[in-house]
Amino acid sequence: MQTPIVALIYDFDKTLSPRDMEEYSFLPGIRVEPDAFWGQCAEFARQHDMDGILTYMYLMKKMASGEMELTRENLIALGRDVEFFPGVTGWFDRINALGRQCGVSVEHYIISSGLTEIIRGSAIGGHFKAIFAASFCYDEEGKAVWPSTAVNYTSKTQYLFRINKGILDVTNDRDLNAFTPEYMRRVPFSNMIYVGDGLTDVPCMKMTKQKGGYSIAVHAPGATEVADDMLLQGRVDFSVEADYTPGSEIEQVVTMLMRRIRASHELTLRHAEQVQRAHRRRGKYVPLDIPMRGGLEDGEDVE
């Protein structure tokens, strides 16, 4: 029996890390206070009707001038100083092992408005199958010259479909937008678990949940209001503290979800086998890899 893939998909800032990643080394390195930087970003965006992600990237480049070389290597190096919620650094190997016990193969993904290079340079950067985040393009000397990718709260949802279809190359839009039958998609939405912290995650949380997957809102100790609101509004399935230590509530929830995904996978295969058997009795051959609910005939979408 094929092992089902479970995709654990995370936001980064305030989901895995307590603060915005720029606040650990970049802003101290250019001698700018976080409140001043984010306040200037908000004002600049209003003045120029500018996307918030493009705004902070523009101001990073502008304010770093004369203070810090904004190169790919330097941004990766900044990742070393990023701090994490309790248990995060050991979380990935532990969940992979728990996944094997549950009969699933776990893959980890990031969908973040933060910077790809800082994430890659962090202590956990090597654990992800793909990192979908903002990034600069660089000149021949490795210096940042222009945004290559900007990931805001609504554009985040396209990356769910990339994971769903297994099209991780962000330049490949043709295959992403081509029709793909449900049974040919690499990771069904029902096998996705999205973990985020705030309102900017709502489009991904809601889409994952509506398409049969699961969404978890995490919160810092004592700061429960936003996560609980999302739970009570039906936008997420669970609201838990951002504690990733062994035996934590989020570990318990994810383990139960992996068991459920495995059971659903087995039931889907049993259903397909019985459909195939019934067709054989009538002298007709049907491949086993058919969708459990009959695909488009039962109202499945075609993204």
pLDDT class of 298 with cuts at 50, 70, 90:
very low
The residues facing 134 across adjacent strands are 115
pLDDT for 200 equals 87
pLDDT class of 299 with cuts at 50, 70, 90:
very low
Please give the angle made by the CA atoms of 40, 42 and 44, to the nearest 5 degrees: 65
Given a cut of 50, whether residue 181 has pLDDT beyond it is yes
Average pLDDT of the chain is: 91
Strands (DSSP E) along the chain, which ranges?
5-10, 105-115, 130-138, 144-149, 192-196, 214-219, 238-241
pLDDT for 51 equals 94
- Can you give the pTM of this predicted structure? 0.91
Helix (H) or strand (E) holding 26: helix 26-29
Phi, psi (rounded to 5 degrees) for 211:
-95, 15
pLDDT class of 279 with cuts at 50, 70, 90:
confident
Rounded Cα distance between 98 and 116, Å, is 28
192-201, 234-243, 263-272: segment of lowest average pLDDT: 263-272
Given a cut of 70, whether residue 60 has pLDDT beyond it is yes
Instruction: Say what percent of the chain tops pLDDT 70.
Output: 94
Domain boundaries, the chain: 5-263
Given a cut of 90, whether residue 148 has pLDDT beyond it is yes
What secondary structure letter does DSSP report for 175? H
Mean pLDDT throughout 9-20? 97
- CATH architecture assignment, domain 5-263: 3-Layer(aba) Sandwich (3.40)
pLDDT for 154 equals 87
Nearest to 110 by CA among 91, 127, 85: 127
Residues 67-94 pLDDT 10s = 999 999 999 999 999 999 999 999 999 9
Mean pLDDT throughout 145-171? 93
Tell me how far the alpha carbon of residue 230 is from its chain's centroid. 18
Residues 87-132 pLDDT 10s = 999 999 999 999 999 999 999 999 999 999 999 999 999 999 999 9
Given a cut of 50, whether residue 303 has pLDDT beyond it is no
Question: What are the structure tokens assigned to 40, written together?
Answer: 């200037």
pLDDT for 300 equals 40
Under a CB-based contact definition with an 8 Å cutoff, are residues 117 and 79 in contact? yes
Rounded Cα distance between 21 and 27, Å, is 10
Given a cut of 60, whether residue 301 has pLDDT beyond it is no
